[in-house]
Amino acid sequence: MHLPALACLPIALIAASTMALAPAAAREEPGWARHIDAGTIAVLSDGDFEAHTYATGRLADPAAGWRDTLTVLKRSDSGWARSSIEVSNSVTAAPEVLRLSPDGRVAFVTERLAPRTAEATRSADLAPGRRLFAVAVEGEPRLLDTAWVEPHPEALDVSPDGRHVAVVSNTPEASYLQIVRFDGARFAAVSRFRVDTLGVEGRLGAPRNGITATNVQWHPSGRALAVNLNTLDRVLFVRVALDGDRVELQPWGAAVSTGRDPFVGRFTPDGRHYLTADWGRDFAATTLEGRLPTQPSSVSVIRLAAPGARPAEAQHRRLGHVPTDLSSEGLAVSPDGRWVATVNMRGTALPADSARFDREASVTLLRFDAVAGRLVKAAEHRFEGVLPEGASFDRSSRHLLVTVFQYPAGRQAGGGLEVFGIGEGEQAGLRHLGRLALPHGAHHVDVTR
């Protein structure tokens, strides 16, 4: 999630901040956790921010000892074995800065903001991030390699074959789409493309020509990408041709209009549709309360052009939208393509003395008809949790995992994963199963498929 205003700071070249953390104390997981169908669960936590840093600008007290952490849960005979490593990351990005490789062996992470220095006390003191990390998650997590990308990387995704990582960045001058080759252990070439050279008309005179890229997703075929341009209320689709270190991008049809502020998005598993979570923020506002919407967010459904259509002639079409709940940020689509979920912060990010403050966030579950391209709201569930953002379904499509940055005053310390069961048939809906405790600042989750 973005701050109301972000200063453009000099880039600080900070030493690589990845280190193995002491093994977590053994804990007994609840019985229902054994039914989560995943080989690996990976969760990112931001140790520099408190949830209310967005409102106050103050960073977390260093005495709290919080770290930027990648927590890895691996299935074992006795439940879930935990390990962790310190990896720089920032909650100010979209909940799209973590992705596991298709084989589940590597986690890719990028940092929108660099780690705090000893002198930093406010969010404005943090330098732009520039790094993309590859972390081995088999056995004890360890850093494999680091690549340098354009400042303020906002989101990433990994190609279906695991050989390329797409990253979008927003510098003061331009938005960039970058393709980084990965050979299984090391990064190779980094190809950079300005988004405003890919057939997008921005607004002359505005920063970055009015373009901000907040999400990037590979098409299941591996031959196309979607890029969310939330300040333009559009999604850009591009064809991708890869040949070793050579990358060619070509606009795939015209950019498609969505609802207001399409912050994140997902292709459906069959590759026929693209869904966006249209948050609805007011970018002209200078305060957090002014920026967050007072009306429910929504999800847009875009039907993609036929795969054989020539790129210049392709016509994608927005079929419609469905309201969800206030301030939906995270979006997840189930592996079987039947379910879509949004994570709704509601008023949890606001100060407790705000009239719009809320102790409860929510999850909205929608049923997706892939033939008609239609979404129907199936259920909604509220829960206590401050600044929930990321979400992922497990492989069975019967469990939904939702990150919570921290819990309200008087509740448990740290962050967590709120876990929901998805019913079948007449029992279809959300059933809150419970919570897996995690370090403070949990904001994105991914699982092996």
Give a yes or no: residue 213 inside a domain: yes
Q: Is residue 431 part of a domain?
A: yes
Report yes or no on 83 lying in a domain. Answer: yes
- Predicted local distance difference test score (pLDDT) of residue 308: 81
Is the separation of the CB atoms in 401 and 394 below 8 Å? yes
Answer whether residue 11 is part of any domain. Answer: no
Report pTM: 0.94
pLDDT at 17: 54
pLDDT at position 245 is: 87
Contact present, 75 and 39 (Cβ < 8 Å): yes
Q: Are 401 and 419 in contact (CB under 8 A)?
A: yes
Distance CA 372, CA 303 (A): 10
Distance CA 154, CA 243 (A): 26
Burial of 207 (0-12, 13-18, 19+ CB in 10 A): middle
Nearest to 23 by CA among 88, 91, 76, 69: 69
- The amino acid present at 95, given as its one-letter code, is P
Q: How many domains does the chain have?
A: 1
Residue tagged 């299935």 (tokens): 75
Q: Tell me, what DSSP letter sits at residue 422?
A: E
Give the angle subtended at the CA of 52 by the CAs of 108 and 152, to the nearest 5°.
35
In angstroms, rounded to a whole number, what is the distance separating the alpha carbons of residues 431 and 171?
42
Q: Is residue 416 part of a domain?
A: yes
CA 266 distance to own-chain centroid: 11
In 3D space, the residue among 8, 2, 96 whose CA is nearest the CA of residue 44 turns out to be 96
Contacts of 306 (CB under 8 A, 6+ apart): 314
Tokens in use for 279?
Answer: 């948050």
pLDDT of amino acid 387: 95
DSSP state string for 385-444: -EEEEEEEE-TTSSEEEEEEEE--TTS-SSEEEEEEEE--GGG-SEEEEEEEEE-TTEEE
CA distances from 133 to 107, 111, 143 (A): 8, 9, 7
Q: Which residues of the chain have pLDDT under 70?
A: 1-28, 410, 426, 449
188-236: pLDDT as tens digits? 999 999 999 999 988 877 888 899 999 999 999 999 999 999 999 999 9
328: containing domain: 19-447
- H or E element at residue 143: strand 142-148
CATH at residue 256: 2.130.10.10
pLDDT at 426: 66
* Res 160: pLDDT: 97
pLDDT value, residue 402: 98
Spatial neighbors of 56 by CB under 8 A, at least 6 apart, are 351
CA nearest to 84, candidates 54, 130, 43? 43
**C-alpha 318, offset from chain centre:** 22
For residue 369, being part of any structural domain is answered with: yes
269 falls within a domain: yes
In 3-state terms, what secondary structure has residue 190? Answer: strand
In terms of Cα–Cα distance, which of 337, 410, 329 is closest to 362? 329
Tokens 């509740």 map to which residue?
411
Residues 6+ apart with CB under 8 A from 110: 89, 93, 97, 129, 131, 132, 133, 149, 153, 155, 156, 167
pLDDT at residue 26 in the model: 45
Using CA atoms in the order 444, 257, 369, 393, what is the torsion angle rounded to 10 degrees?
A: 0
For residue 295, being part of any structural domain is answered with yes
> Per residue in 242-290, pLDDT tens?
988 899 999 999 999 999 999 999 999 999 999 999 999 999 998 899 9
